[in-house]
Structure 1
Amino acid sequence: DWLYSMWDAQPGHFFLSWEAIGHGLGHLGELTSIRNRMGLSPF
């Protein structure tokens, strides 16, 4: 597949993985702030 080999030749997967990690961390922060607002934070 030429599209896959094109992506494989570039560090695209690296940036995509970082984007996914940042997305997950954003959701974690969102959940934490919601828990803080509800008074359920263990911190």
Structure 2
Amino acid sequence: MDENNLFAFVLMPFDSRFDDIYRFGIKEPAGQMGILAERVDE
């Protein structure tokens, strides 16, 4: 990742109930906008 890329650190509960919300509601849409989104458990 170079200094011009956008990065989003996602804070949310570590619970499998939230995995789809993270993957399909945050990570994928962010990626489509050129933003790297990560959770601390990745």
Task: Tell me which interval the TM-score lies in, with the shorter structure as reference length.
Answer: 0.3 to 0.5
Q: Which has the larger radius of gyration?
A: 1
Q: Which has the higher contact order (CA 8 A, sep 6+)?
A: 2
Which structure dedicates a bigger proportion of its chain to strand? 2
Tell me the TM-score normalized by structure 2: 0.42
